[in-house]
Structure 1
Amino acid sequence: MSTDTLSDGASTPSRLRSVLRHDLPASLVVFLVAIPLSLGIAVASGAPLAAGLIAAVVGGVVAGALGGSAVQVSGPAAGLALVVADLVHTYGWRATCMITLLAGVAQLLLGLSKVARAALAVSPAVVHGTLTGVGVTIALAQLHVVLGGSPQHSALANLIELPAQLLANHSHAVAAGLLTITVLVVWTRLPRRLRSVPAPLVALATTAAAAAALSWDVTHVDLTVSPSTWVSPFWPKGDWHGIVAAVLLVALLSGIESLLCSVGVDKLHSGPKSDLDRVLTGQGVANIVTGALGGLPVAGVVVRSTANVTAGAKSKWSTVMHGCWVLAFTFGFAWTIRYIPMEALAALLVFIGVQMVNLGHVRNLRGHGEVPVYLVTAAGVVFVGLAEGAMLGVGLAALLALRRLTWVTVDVGAEPSGRWHVLIGGSLTFLGVPRLTAELNSVPPGVPVDLDLNIDFMDNAAFEALHTWRLAHEGTGGTVDIDELHDEWYSLAAKGARVFPAKTPPSIPDRWWLPWAYRRRRLVTQGRVAALTHHARGRRRRAGAGDTAPAPCGDSVSWGEPASCGDPVSCGDSASCGESASWGAIPELVAGAREFHRHTAPLVRPILTRMARKQEPSHLFITCADSRVVPSLITASGPGDLFTVRNIGNLVPRHEAAPPDDSVVAAVEYATRVLGVRTITVCGHSGCGAMAALLSGSVDADDLPGLRRWLEHGNHSLARYIATAGEGDEEGGPLDRLCRVNVIQQLANLRTHPGVEELVRAERLELVGIYFDIAQARVHILGQPDPTPPADLRVS
């Protein structure tokens, strides 16, 4: 997506008004933020102060105009300060400028190669850990300046020398630093309307005024910038391996920081999103220019970008104009910098360094188990070096990712029936073989085992271990019933078929809608096949009528239609079909609950957890209690969709009907007034026993008095059926027509309730009738009833 806001329509009056109204004020805010930060980062980098201002100008004008983000602001970045300081110490300032230029060339080539998005593969834990380490290092070094001393050669040395600095006598330098930090802390806590001027500018101005008024003995810096002071960069002297590594380090660090900044800033505004390849290309050109002019490396910076968005920027003009303001300040007002104490700049860097340690990132990383990566990276940057710390973090992140990808869970336990249940989940690779074999060996010999494979990958080593154990266990007289939730990794490997190495997404257990009887028959057949095949009794597998092909070792039977061999399996035939060989030994509800816990619960648990405290159904679904009507099946609905009422004949008693029945009325009232459903659906079905009883009048008052009283609420349906005789009998006979008429009548009965009628007339509630043809497995939408039934349908 193009984000070029400098050319497309920029000359139109509406664009000009937007720039003047939004971008111009935002550019002034960013300019005021950029000046002190650029100077402070130059100090931390060991570079000339002018280098920070040059980088701010180039970052604003060049990167802003050529980059792929509408609101990102580029300039000198605190995250690169340690790298630049080390390069200046090793190669000198002019050679560091050449390294910056070459890093820009590398970024330009990477951007043109369209590989920018690959940089986002770096773990955020590594990025945040690197920034934290840089922040701690900068804060420790500049704290010595605030205390009137000088930074040591390493963060560890700074930490060791800090107690002596704190205990020594200090001069006015300490007062200047403490005043700067105090203003920074207090200013950020003032109401927003009082914080129109950025805190760094206020802090530096306040300290400069106090130092001048009180005649403090502080260090002042005279910054003179003119075109005559420019010196060209030259090629660094030294080992070319180190030079190439330095170029790549600057290119990658500034590039990754810029890309992550672009992604983060995109979340703060509703304008066009960033073109990451163009962002990287713009950064490359900017680093070429800043290196040639003697500036610091340029990267996208979060603080200035966030300030830009908060100030109301809408296009790149804000970023470009902020660079122009910095340029004007550099040549017209640079003399004002001489009044700023160096200790104040050092205090500003301490404050910035502390802010880079964002504990909010730690909380976010904690839930994903990536805190060790963050801590190792930060510690590595502080005590070893920036590049080394980043590499340590990347290596640890890769190891943890490998561990997660190959993690396997094995749960083994005995059940009350004497069977053993084994659940294996995760990715089954050679790394998990030791644990797998240890857990499987804990299963006693000769016992029946239900083995559930909830895996998304299995390599050959894991298959060999599992298959060897299975054969050994069945050799002791036991049975192993294997059920695979995902693709059949074990079955395919046992058949010698090709197993694709790619992982497969989780799938819902195959044919979960089958009745218990069908699944029971399938399990019996599968258990019999496993027992007969792996005991090597020389018998043939019978998976269906006429199927006499020998089963290969390890073959499992897939879910399908019920076995049609016509030979019931006796209890003593080693069938693996639940808690025991005979399903009659336990209630089928318990077996169904076991299957739910094994297969379905892990899939629906996240959804149910979110809706555990509150239900928000969209439909009240009134249907028959017939066991063949499954509302969630015929509507493809899930948990939380339907508020369901079931009764004999899907009847809705009319308002103030006799005999009275409040159960349906209570559900209607609760659904419409409390839950706020927008639809009430009445679902009838073919072959309804209640409608058959109405037609024949065969309900015995002595044997079924409650049913007879309840079916009196269906008399209106019978009357409507009689009044419309001859209309549609050909569709399915008298019974099916009465079943359809009954649905229409119950919708009319609903409208006799004042609350329902009021909502319907206000178009806040819709009544729908559907008819489920069981034999054809088809759902039909029925027509709407008249608001008031005709007189000849009113039954006393």
Structure 2
Amino acid sequence: MTDTTSVFAAFRRPALLRKEAMASLVVFLVALPLCVGVAVASGVPAELGLITGIVGGIVVGLMPGSRLQVSGPAAGLTVLVFEAVREFGLGMLGPIVLATGLLQVVLGWARCGRWFRAISVSVVQGMLAGIGLVLVVGQLYTVAGAEQPHSGLRKILGIPGLLADTVTSAPALTAAGVGVFTGAVLVAWKKAPARVRAVPAPLAAVALATAGTAALGLDVPKVEVQGLLAAIQPPSLSDLGGLGTLAVLGTVLAFTLIASAESLFSAAAVDRMHDGPRTHYDKELVAQGVGNTVCGALGSLPMTAVIVRSSANVQAGATTSLSRVLHGVWLLLFTVLWPTAIGVIPLAALAAVLVHAGCKLIPVKALVPLWREHRGEAVILCATAAAIVMTSMFEGVVLGLLLAVVKCAWETSKVQVTVRELVGGRTVVALTGNATFLRLPHILETLEALPHGRPVELDLTEVRHLDHACRAALEGWAERHRGAGTAPVRVREPAAQEAGGAGPGPSAAGG
């Protein structure tokens, strides 16, 4: 049964329809403040976040892939979107998201969805940690009503000055008070009675902060509302022409990598929460691509599958795609019928919601056991996060991937060098494992320490892999050893080459 079929089938079963509708309301209440908050934090009109949530619910919800995970604007892309809008302008956001969606569709059709699962978990965690750090620090400025510095490092270094300015400014202190109150509600909400917790924490925190601000008559910055139709800005031909620049293409690749990886990792997490049909990763990648293509055509934010809304969907008892489709319908109705409700929300309250979400992206609890058990993975995680904070999202992720590849190559190129002295003055040097250029220093140090003038047998029969660099180095050592004395050097080739009938290479020549 396809996702579209399951949606329409639910309408013929009243009990199932009622259950899916209730789950969709829960998801809608969770998604509403997050869609607006992510848009504001990204430096774009609030309506663009709601448009992406609507597309993620209705369009992606009707497509096959993962039946229960929910798509929409994500905190994980906030920093990248903010930098893209700052560098290229709001008009280029649509083309970038459009190109990202088309690239995701192509990758899905090419059956590349499963390969995103091969990305090192440490790189993904480091990516999210870096995003979380920049997001948290950046939103602290919004909580205080101050302008954010452009780079992540400057945001961190500017915190002492921000605190000093906030304490000495009554408007900033008022806005910060609203943010602190919102954050306190978010943290304390999980300890509230079960009936109270039926209302999602982000919605409750924003609603209470908004009501308190209105009741006390506090003059704090609020969300600016333009209207849904006014916010939609399809890409122009001149904007589409900007896709040819190298900087923009790099941003598209970063969007594609991060959005796809986050969506598919989210799908894997959601699959562990329920016993229903498993995710088809290639189809899910196509669905995310179609959703981003539509978002790009509307000039709105990029989307990913988001674990907070997805877990709320599963926990609310959803079993079909109808719940995520209906949550998109509720977002559409709310935005069209009651847009003024968005304009009374304090920016500091939304910033506090994003600070709370950003903190969840930083795997503090997992870092200590990871350091104890897999120190190399912990280094990759921290290096990726630090690089994102100090440079940019794309450069940080690329560094993390390179470190993961180097670590994998280093661990798989383990080689053991054994030296045995035999009767008659012969020396046997046996190599076992994978002899690659990464282990050349150790191998050559052992060989160059051998005494000259003694016959040497280099036994490579237990070598599983001998790369070109290592072979060339061994041949060069054999020539130098023969040239330094009168002792012959005999090389026994790897077993795979002997079985294949390969004759001895140049290094096998005796003296």
TM range (shorter): 0.7 to 0.9
Of 63-72 and 405-414, more deviation after overlay is shown by 405-414
Change (3 A) 1:117 1:239: closer
User: Hey, what's the Cα distance between the residues in 2 that align with 1:221 and 1:112?
Assistant: 40
1:240 is displaced (CA, Å) by: 2.4
Deviations 1:682-722 (A, max 9, x none): xxxxxxxxxxxxxxxxxxxxxxxxxxxxxxxxxxxxxxxxx
The residue aligned with 2:147 is: 150
Aligned length, in residue pairs: 488
Which residue does 1:240 correspond to in 2?
A: 244
For residues 15 and 493 of structure 2, the distance between their equivalents in structure 1, rounded to whole angstroms, comes to 64
Q: CA deviation at 1:264?
A: 2.3
> What's the counterpart of residue 343 of structure 1?
348
**3-state SS of the aligned residue for 2:30?**
helix
1:64 paired to 2:61: yes
Task: Report Cα offsets for 1:60-94 as digits up to 9, x if no partner.
Answer: 11111114101111000112112221222233223
Matched AA of 1:458 = L
Counterparts of 1:143-542 in structure 2 under 5 Å?
143-168=140-165, 169-170=168-169, 171-190=173-192, 194-227=196-229, 230-234=232-236, 235-236=238-239, 238=242, 240-241=244-245, 242-362=247-367, 365-366=370-371, 367-368=373-374, 369-410=376-417, 424-439=431-446, 455-459=463-467, 465=474, 490-491=494-495, 493=497, 497-498=501-502
Is the alpha carbon distance of 1:343 and 1:430 closer, same or farther for their aligned partners in structure 2, counting shifts above 3 Å? Answer: closer
Q: Is the 8 A contact 1:377 1:390 kept in 2?
A: yes
Q: What's the TM-score, normalizing by structure 2?
A: 0.84
Aligned AA (1:397): A
Cα distance in 1 for partners of 2:179, 2:396 equals 30
**Deviation of the 1:462 alpha carbon:** 5.0
Contact 1:261 1:302 in 2 (8 A): yes
Q: After superposition, give the CA deviation of every residue in 1:643-692 in whole Å (9 maximum; x if it has no partner).
A: xxxxxxxxxxxxxxxxxxxxxxxxxxxxxxxxxxxxxxxxxxxxxxxxxx
- 1:78 paired residue among 56, 72, 75: 75
Give the 3-state SS of the residue equivalent to 1:188 in structure 2: helix
Larger Rg: 1
Q: Which amino acid aligns with 2:322?
A: W
Query: 1-side partners of 2:262 and 2:133: how far apart?
Result: 18
Residue 173 of structure 1 and its aligned partner are, at CA, apart by 0.7
Q: Relative to structure 1, is the Cα distance of residues 67 and 477 closer, same or farther in structure 2, using a 3 angstrom cutoff?
A: same
AA paired with 1:377? T
Q: Deviations over 1:263-300 (max 9, x none)?
A: 22222221111111111111122112222233211111
CA distance change for structure 1 residues 365 and 498 in 2, over 3 Å: closer, same or farther? farther
Question: Is the Cα–Cα contact under 8 Å of residues 412 and 440 in structure 1 kept in the other structure?
Answer: no
1:336, distance to aligned residue in structure 2 (A)? 1.9
- SS for the counterpart of 2:465 is strand
**1:348 CA drift (Å):** 1.4
- SS where residue 34 of structure 2 aligns? helix
The answer to whether the Cα contact below 8 Å between 2:10 and 2:17 also exists between their aligned partners in 1 is no
Counterparts of 1:206 and 1:455, CA distance in 2: 68
For 1:159 and 1:360, locate their aligned partners in 2 and report how far apart those are by CA, in whole Å.
Answer: 22
1:601-655, Cα deviation, whole Å (9 max, x unpaired): xxxxxxxxxxxxxxxxxxxxxxxxxxxxxxxxxxxxxxxxxxxxxxxxxxxxxxx
For normalisation by structure 1, the TM-score amounts to 0.55
1:17 matched residue in structure 2: 15
Higher relative contact order (CA closer than 8 Å, sequence separation 6+): 2
Can you give the 5+ residue segments of structure 2 that lack an aligned partner in the other structure?
none
Mean Cα deviation higher: 291-300 or 217-226: 217-226
Q: 1:494, 1:553 within 8 Å by CA — same for their partners in 2?
A: no
What CA deviation, in whole Å up to 9, does each residue of 1:208-227 have, x standing for no partner?
12212222221122435344
CA drift of 1:53 comes to 0.6
Tell me the residue number matched to 2:45.
48
The DSSP-based 3-state class of the residue aligned with 1:401 is helix
- Structure 1 gap segments, 5+ residues each: 483-487, 500-551, 555-796
Rounded to whole Å, the distance in 2 between the matches of 1:337 and 1:12 is 32
Change in CA separation of 1:188 and 1:424 when aligned onto 2, cut-off 3 Å:
farther
Deviation at 1:200, TM superposition (A): 0.8
Which secondary structure state, in structure 2, belongs to the residue aligned with residue 456 of structure 1?
strand
In the alignment, is the contact (CA less than 8 A) between 2:133 and 2:389 conserved in 1?
yes
Q: CA deviation at 1:172?
A: 1.0
Cα displacement (A) at 1:8: 5.1
Query: Do the aligned partners of residues 289 and 444 (structure 1) sit closer, same or farther apart at CA in structure 2, a change above 3 Å counting?
Result: same
Q: Percent identity?
A: 36
Question: Shift of the alpha carbon at 1:13?
Answer: 8.2
Conserved? CA contact 1:31–1:323, under 8 Å:
yes
CA distance in 2, matches of 1:359, 1:425: 40
| Counterpart residue type for residue 26 of structure 2 | V
Q: CA deviation at 1:354?
A: 1.5
How far the C-alpha of 1:423 sits from its partner, in A, is 7.3
CA separation in 2, counterparts of 1:468 and 1:126?
A: 42
1:539 paired residue number: none
SS in 1 for 2:4: coil
Cα distance between partner residues in 2 of 1:142 and 1:301: 20
Answering whether residue 104 of structure 2 is matched by residue 107 of structure 1, we say: yes
Cα offset, 1:134, TM superposition? 1.2
Q: How far has the Cα of 1:203 moved from its partner?
A: 0.9
SS of aligned partner of 2:3: coil
Cα distance in structure 2, aligned partners of 1:40 and 1:405? 45
Instruction: Give the match's secondary structure for 1:337.
Output: helix
The one-letter code of the counterpart of 2:399 is L
Once residues 260 and 97 of structure 1 are traced to their aligned partners in structure 2, the CA distance between those partners, rounded to angstroms, is 25
Map Cα deviations across residues 220-271 of structure 1 (whole Å, 9 max, x no partner): 2243534466443324265722333333332332222212221222222211
Q: CA deviation at 1:114?
A: 2.2
In 2, Cα distance between equivalents of 1:259 and 1:108? 14
